[in-house]
Structure 1
Amino acid sequence: MSVAKKDYKRVTVKSLIDMKQNNEKISMLTAYDYTMAKIVDGAGIDVILVGDSASNVMAGHETTLPITLDQMIYHASSVVRASERALIVVDLPFGSYQSDPKEALRSAIRIMKESGGHAVKMEGGREVKESIKRILNAGIPVMGHLGLTPQSIYKFGTYTVRAKEDQEAQQLKEDALMLERAGCFGIVLEKIPAKLATEVAQSVSIPVIGIGAGAGVDGQVLVLHDMIGMTHEFNPRFLRRYMNLYEDMTKAIGQYVHDVKAVDFPSDKEQY
């Protein structure tokens, strides 16, 4: 079993590559605000992803598509102010990089300058190669994202497992190698067969982080609100809930409502 082998004062892109070389698994969670990020960072997480999943978790949208670059910068800025140890990776939102490499560079520069984030993440393979190269040429670290790519949900029409067929699996392998050659420091693989994910992780020298991609990759990422059970309707096979905050918070708030109405709160000791 892999355990932490080095106490990093600040995790960097190089730290992650070292972890892979040393067979040390990489832990990654999302965060979108200062308070939660402070807890996540203090608990020793290696990477905080300021994900465009904020569109779902924080704003209640059905997909990740509506969130804007300005909103991503706002969330990322809050997380950066809370972090002392973790590497902060920020998602480039839908529409900010896909069609024009120059626009992609402008978006990435805004994230880095205005939020203080350490790297950006982009969905896609060869179709975003030129955007990746332009961003990397500006000295901005890039993490790739293959497999299920939520920003393309209307193209695929479903959130089911990707790359089960040979042709798509081969394409994914080729895209992973392309991302490494282009200079990406890591890749997220989402919801693909575990065997394929293991093959990809073994074929590249950069870290591969999985979500619904099995245990044969270099690390794992989950959405924080899912992992601690604040959300309760989302139950994919890959999700392990480490807490059930939905029930705990509902119970606590219900008790507060009762105490206020019964004039039990505040008590004499809770007044000035």
Structure 2
Amino acid sequence: MTDTKKRTSVDKAAPVTVPGIQAMKGTRKICCITAYDYSSGIIADTAGMDLILVGDSLAMVVLGHEDTLSVTVDEMIHHIRATSRGAKRALVVGDMPFMSYCTVDRALETGRRFIAEGHARAVKLEGGAPVAPQIKALTEAGIPVMAHVGLTPQHIAKFGGFKAQGKSAEATKTLIKDAQAVEAAGAFCVVLEAIPVEAAELITEAVSIPTIGIGAGNVTDGQILVYHDTLGLFDRFTPKFVRRFAELGEAAGSALTRYCEDVRRGTFPGDKNTLYMPDDQLTQLRKIKIKHKKK
């Protein structure tokens, strides 16, 4: 099947819905990836992703910040809108950035903008029981919410860095309570990040909504990775839980090096890359006398 045929079949396929994601629990694994613009949205959608998260990780992998805390609501909306234009089937979820949902009112306003301006079909926020009121308010307002517990990157100042969570029995009990709290508040699924597989298994059994793992083993109901990590496009660091399925950054670097070499040698553009004037117009052109400016 050609890429064009794949794209056509995706365009004709029924869009993935929130109830559709929920129905996948216990039926089949849910495939999720981040994406940040029109082209990555198309690629992820055509590949068959069920859910595309426009993650606040764009702060690091797209905008070059040291962490996820610097990205703004306006920047997120810009990227959500672009990604939504490319993704026709997958459920597009917008990641609410740091401090944009610290109160119920702020959460509702950010959620409204993500849906109305960004054309996301759901939002994601980080935290367990403490953000249950925000989740409840959003879902009651008709905005589906993807929750996120475990390592929550927006809390790295509290954690002291990007550190795994739930490494003790007590910590796991807290994570279970957090997952149950976000479910009770109305979240349709929950991301489990950087926790032991044993903890992930208990949480997955303890809730009726799908769990989406990232660094939580293969016992969750689905998996999500960062687009740039998966394709080898980000090399500042690679988390242990990442598998690089391609080395596109290296391939892109080699391609651009060859481009520079061909430009400098004068071999690009070549004959196939050059536009030529029709003979009759060329004859007329040569009759034109051009006055050269004196230097």
Which range, TM-score by smaller chain? Answer: over 0.9
| Aligned amino acid, residue 15 of structure 2 | R
Shift in Å, 1:8: 5.8
Q: For residue 71 of structure 1, what is the aligned residue in structure 2? A: 75
CA-to-aligned-CA distance 1:7-50 (integer Å, 9 cap, x gap): 9621111111111142x000000000001111110111100000
CA RMSD, aligned part only? 1.1
Q: For residue 84 of structure 1, what is the aligned residue in structure 2? A: 88
Q: Larger radius of gyration, structure 1 or 2?
A: 2
Identify unmatched segments of 5+ residues in structure 2.
1-11, 276-295
TM-score, length-scaled by structure 2: 0.88
Counterparts of 1:103-182 in structure 2, within 5 Å, are 103-182=106-185
CA-to-aligned-CA distance 1:121-163 (integer Å, 9 cap, x gap): 0100111111111111101100110000000111111212111
Shift in Å, 1:234: 1.9
Alpha-carbon distance between aligned partners in 2 of 1:242 and 1:129, rounded to the nearest angstrom:
36
1:64 partner SS: coil
2:192 partner SS: strand
Alpha-carbon distance between aligned partners in 2 of 1:106 and 1:160, rounded to the nearest angstrom:
31
1:211 and 2:214 matched = yes
1:101 to 90, 97, 104: 104
Alpha-carbon distance between aligned partners in 2 of 1:127 and 1:217, rounded to the nearest angstrom:
23
2:187 partner SS: coil
| Aligned amino acid, residue 178 of structure 1 | A
**Post-superposition, which runs of at least 4 consecutive aligned residues in structure 1 deviate over 6 A?**
none
1:161 partner SS: coil
| Aligned amino acid, residue 32 of structure 1 | Y
1:20 and 2:36 matched = no
Q: For residue 8 of structure 2, what is the aligned residue in structure 1? A: none
CA-to-aligned-CA distance 1:207-245 (integer Å, 9 cap, x gap): 100000000000000000110001123222211111001
Q: For residue 16 of structure 2, what is the aligned residue in structure 1? A: 11
| Aligned amino acid, residue 13 of structure 1 | V
Alpha-carbon distance between aligned partners in 1 of 2:235 and 2:67, rounded to the nearest angstrom:
17
Percent identity over the alignment? 45
Contact 2:26 2:221 in 1 (8 A): no
Alpha-carbon distance between aligned partners in 1 of 2:55 and 2:169, rounded to the nearest angstrom:
29
Alpha-carbon distance between aligned partners in 1 of 2:199 and 2:48, rounded to the nearest angstrom:
29
1:213 partner SS: coil
Q: For residue 193 of structure 1, what is the aligned residue in structure 2? A: 196
CA-to-aligned-CA distance 1:170-203 (integer Å, 9 cap, x gap): 1110011111111110000000001110111111
Alpha-carbon distance between aligned partners in 2 of 1:233 and 1:114, rounded to the nearest angstrom:
32
Q: For residue 285 of structure 2, what is the aligned residue in structure 1? A: none
Identify unmatched segments of 5+ residues in structure 1.
1-6
Alpha-carbon distance between aligned partners in 2 of 1:132 and 1:118, rounded to the nearest angstrom:
15
1:220 partner SS: strand
| Aligned amino acid, residue 145 of structure 1 | H
Q: For residue 226 of structure 1, what is the aligned residue in structure 2? A: 229
Contact 2:151 2:193 in 1 (8 A): yes
Q: How many residues align?
A: 264
Contact 1:30 1:48 in 2 (8 A): yes
Q: For residue 244 of structure 1, what is the aligned residue in structure 2? A: 247
1:123 partner SS: coil
1:36 and 2:40 matched = yes
